[in-house]
Structure 1
Amino acid sequence: MTRPLIIGLTGSIGMGKSTVAGMFAEAGIPVFDADAEVRAMQGPGGELVPAIEAAFPGSTGPQGVNREKLGAEVFADKAALARLEAIVHPAVAARRAAFLARHADKPAVVFDIPLLFERGGDAAVDLVVVVSAPAEVQRARVLARPGMTPQKLDHILSLQLPDAEKRARAHHVIDTGTSLEATRAAVAALIAALPAP
């Protein structure tokens, strides 16, 4: 049975991964956005809400999971984070498998996975594309987000593989420290050079 070429798209926080994922989608390549799937499953009426409430009482409400409240519980507690991941990861894997089945006839698909290397997901893809920008650009982008602080950013970065290591392990690097036009051209060139599945 043939299947699409699976492109693993990753990059540290603030590197422009969502923008690049959008460029792949605009070019007609289906994108599986792991974060968006998690948000949907944790939103109002989401399938993960009961299990998360059972594991973390008081962390959900009519709007689904209270991400700030849950985040505060798991932010610095590795055991709590592992409990949450044991609920979330199998559900995401099931959605990813269904996505792949729906797009089995496509030449390529993108798995947009923020922690691709950190969780060993690179073993399940054919090609790894890392989105990268200079550290000062990354920092400025992230600190412009509502509620973000230098301390929060440093903590998030401490949980992620360093950008230089991600770039070293990538098959392709898309530089987003340039103009949107240059990034779009880099994505188009990469798509044009994709091997047949």
Structure 2
Amino acid sequence: MSGRTRPFIIGLTGSIGMGKSTVAKMFVEEGVPLFDADAAVHQLQGPDGALVEAIEALFPGTTGREGVDRQKLGAAVLGNPDAMQKLEKLIHPAVGEMRLAFLEENQDRPLILFDIPLLFEKSGAESVDHIVVVSAGEEHQRERVLARPGMTEERFSHIKALQMPDAEKRAKADSVIDTSLPLAETRQQVGKLVQKLKAALA
């Protein structure tokens, strides 16, 4: 595996409430640079974000001084496939450019991490070398999600219905990180995986 011209890309994914953000931070603590797709979208839509003007032109009244009002934008595109497609045509290329810039900045690193929530659902699996699925028991997931502000059983069911079932994700994964365990044990799993991947690249 030596002689690579770019870093080895780990794709991190997992359903809602599985602890993906926590695990992403653990990879960063192990020295693996992180590209967070959600954070990139927030940046593009935040104050002075590169896409704010274009989003306002497409969906008038959905932006303000703080950038995009995510609730207003959500209301404008929810249940409207045509509007959603127009929005995605704006967002995806912009995020892609940020990802390329991130790759260039980190081209000398052995490993990098792409945090992609809908890795399987949006067919991003081909763009990574190793897929890590963050998983937990159903009760752990439910408890975490329903503890979030403004979350309801109905909303949780709706989000789950849009995501590939956890068992399917685990079956497609190259590695699974279990977050049902104490944090120290989850951190240990991440550390072992990073060492294993680095050793395979050496």
Distance 2:80 2:63 in 1: 19
Q: What are the ranges of 5 or more consecutive residues in structure 2 without an aligned counterpart?
A: none
Amino acid at match of 1:27: E
What is the CA-CA distance between 1:84 and the residue it aligns to? Answer: 1.2
Matched, 1:111 2:114: yes
CA deviation string 1:154-182 (max 9, x = no partner):
11111111111110000000000111001
1:53 is matched with which residue? 56
CA deviation string 1:28-77 (max 9, x = no partner):
10000000111011001100111111111111111101011111222322
Distance 1:19 1:35 in 2: 14
Matched, 1:192 2:175: no
2:45 pairs with 42, 45, 49, which one? 42
Distance 1:150 1:52 in 2: 31
State the identity %.
59
Please state whether the residue corresponding to 1:193 is helix, strand or coil.
helix
* Structure 1 stretches of 4+ moved >4 Å: none
Matched, 1:102 2:105: yes
What is the CA-CA distance between 1:149 and the residue it aligns to? Answer: 1.3
| Aligned residues between the structures | 197
What is the CA-CA distance between 1:78 and the residue it aligns to? Answer: 2.2
2:131 pairs with 117, 128, 131, which one? 128
Please state whether the residue corresponding to 2:122 is helix, strand or coil.
coil
2:28 is matched with which residue? 25
Distance 1:103 1:129 in 2: 20
CA RMSD between the two structures = 1.1
Q: What are the ranges of 5 or more consecutive residues in structure 1 without an aligned counterpart?
A: none
2:80 is matched with which residue? 77
TM-score, length-scaled by structure 1: 0.97
1:93 is matched with which residue? 96
Q: Indicate the larger mover: 79-88 or 172-181.
A: 79-88
What is the CA-CA distance between 1:79 and the residue it aligns to? Answer: 2.2
TM-score, length-scaled by structure 2: 0.94
Q: Indicate the larger mover: 5-14 or 156-165.
A: 156-165
